[in-house]
Amino acid sequence: MTHPSEWTLRRAIAFCAALGVGVATYIAVEAAGGDAPQCIAGSTGCATVAKSSYSHVAGVNIAVFGIVGYVLLLASAFFANDLARFGGFVVALGGFGYSVFLTYIEIFKIEAICQWCVGSAVLMTILFVLNATRLIGYAGTEGEGTAGRSSLREAPG
Amino acid sequence: MSEPEDRRKQLLQLAAGAVFLAIAVVLVLIVVNGSSGGDGGDTSLEGVAEVNRELAGIPQQGMVLGDPKAPVELVEFADLQCPYCKAFAEEVLPSIIETQVKNGEAKVAFHNFTIIGEQSPPAGAAALAAGAQGRGWNYVKLFYRNQGTEDSGYADDAFLESVAKGAGVENLEKWNQDRAKFLPEVEATTAEAQELGFNGTPSFAIEGPKTKGLEPLGTPESVGDLEKAIAEAG
């Protein structure tokens, strides 16, 4: 199976993670100021979700955890080694899993949709796919994997 | 097998394990939350999400709804068990909240005036304890939404707690501890209502730059009457 080059994957991960840092920071800053993030088209979903008891874990706004996760993912894109590949995968897996849970909560428990949370969930899903592709394609590779295939599996013998 | 291949195999096995673990954790979280209360999870109550949605984004301090700096304060004296209070809260007050409260012209305070029965003071204190956690108006509105037959005994501890859960009170243990502490405040506002000359619920009083302290309004007939009173007080 061919994969995009690790160079391409790393840059895509860095781009999505940077966007994620922006989204999570916006939500965290609005919450810290006592407001809720502004939904588009006058929807009150963002305020409903932000005021719900699910917006905090152990007294900390979940957007703060989001910032930490996105920063770790951004950092993982700067290194071409197995620690970065596996670490990035684990963080993205955790973020994706938690996004699935939060989306379930929004739909079935809070009965309101926060557009910013959906945006973050979409970014986490993309990041999970990118990091999984990177790990499957290039785990065990010394240095940066080249385009198309893992340099490990391209090596003869 | 070469060392890089070994490492690759180990990493992919670890990743597969992590995926199974993540799936298990998410499923457990969903099952646990599906069987507990919360912002919309208490199916024994009606209108949980709707009430919380209606009040989302409006500041609450104690039992005061609206911008704390709003010049006019409308004070409602009510009994949570009173059907007329429920009707007023659902048919008249929402218009005032949508306009004069949201635009910062007025704030609305809920004061207990407990006249229905022996479950009224504990219910009022439960609302005040929710107010201490910023969910007082959610509590009042959700209580009204699920109000039972007047003084029929429905407002027991289990009902009060389910309303607290539905209203989004985060620290239920603290809420439970606070309830008794607020009973004297319920008595005090009931006495205040009597001093203002009220003998029925809901009754209103208003205070603003153009009033001489807290002035009794009685029970306004319509949204228009309340809007006019707020405009004149400001």
What pLDDT is recorded for position B52?
A: 81
**How many angstroms separate the CA of residue B30 from the nearest CA in chain A?**
7
List pLDDT tens digits, range A73-123: 999 999 999 999 999 999 999 999 999 999 988 887 777 788 899 999 999
Give the mean model confidence (pLDDT) for residues B66-72: 90
B168 vs A56: CB contact, 8 Å cut-off? no
List pLDDT tens digits, range B83-127: 999 999 988 898 899 888 888 899 999 999 999 999 999 999 999
CATH at residue A121: 1.20.1440.130
Q: Are strands B106-112 and B72-78 parallel, antiparallel or unpaired?
A: parallel
Q: Is residue A105 part of a domain?
A: yes
CB nearest to B25's CB, from A82, A97, A135: A97
User: Could you list the residue range(s) of the whole structural domain that residue A44 is in?
Assistant: 21-140
Question: Is the pLDDT reported for residue A149 higher than 60?
Answer: no
Q: Is residue A150 part of a domain?
A: no
Q: Is residue A95 part of a domain?
A: yes
Mean of per-residue pLDDT scores for chain A: 84
Residue type, B74: L
Q: Is residue A153 part of a domain?
A: no
What pLDDT is recorded for position B43?
A: 45
Q: Is residue A146 part of a domain?
A: no
Higher pLDDT, A55 or B202: B202
Percent of chain B whose predicted confidence (pLDDT) is above 90: 56
Q: Is residue A148 part of a domain?
A: no
Give the mean model confidence (pLDDT) for residues B200-218: 92
Question: Is the pLDDT reported for residue B175 higher than 80?
Answer: yes
How would you write chain B as a 3-class SS string? Answer: CCHHHHHHHHHHHHHHHHHHHHHHHHHHHHHHHHCCCCCCCCCCCCCHHHHHHHHCCCCEECCEECCCCCCEEEEEEECCCCHHHHHHHHHCHHHHHHHHHCCCCEEEEEEECCCCCCCHHHHHHHHHHHHCCCCHHHHHHHHHHCCCCCCCCCCCHHHHHHHHHHHCCCCHHHHHHHHHHCHHHHHHHHHHHHHCCCCCCCEEEEECCCCCCCEEEECCCCHHHHHHHHHHHC
Question: Is the pLDDT reported for residue B38 higher than 80?
Answer: no
A97 vs B18: CB contact, 8 Å cut-off? no
Give the mean model confidence (pLDDT) for residues B129-133: 94
B12 vs A136: CB contact, 8 Å cut-off? yes
In this prediction, residue B222 has a pLDDT band, given cuts at 50, 70 and 90, of confident
In this prediction, residue B6 has a pLDDT band, given cuts at 50, 70 and 90, of confident
**How many angstroms separate the CA of residue B151 from the nearest CA in chain A?**
31
Give the mean model confidence (pLDDT) for residues A36-43: 69
B49 vs A110: CB contact, 8 Å cut-off? yes
Instruction: Give the Cβ contact number of residue B2 at 10 Å.
Output: 11
Is residue B116 within 8 Å of B79, Cβ to Cβ? yes
Of A37-51, B28-42, B109-123, give the lowest mean pLDDT range: B28-42
Rounded to two decimals, the ipTM of the complex is 0.79
CB nearest to A111's CB, from B22, B33, B49: B49
**How many angstroms separate the CA of residue A15 from the nearest CA in chain B?**
23
In this prediction, residue B42 has a pLDDT band, given cuts at 50, 70 and 90, of very low
Tally of domains in chain A = 1
What pLDDT is recorded for position B73?
A: 95
What pLDDT is recorded for position A146?
A: 66
Q: Is residue A125 part of a domain?
A: yes
Q: Is residue A128 part of a domain?
A: yes
Question: Is the pLDDT reported for residue B215 higher than 60?
Answer: yes
Is residue A137 within 8 Å of A150, Cβ to Cβ? yes
- State the DSSP string of A12-43: HHHHHHHHHHHHHHHHHHHHHTT--PPPGGG-
Q: Which residue has the tokens 């008249």?
A: B92
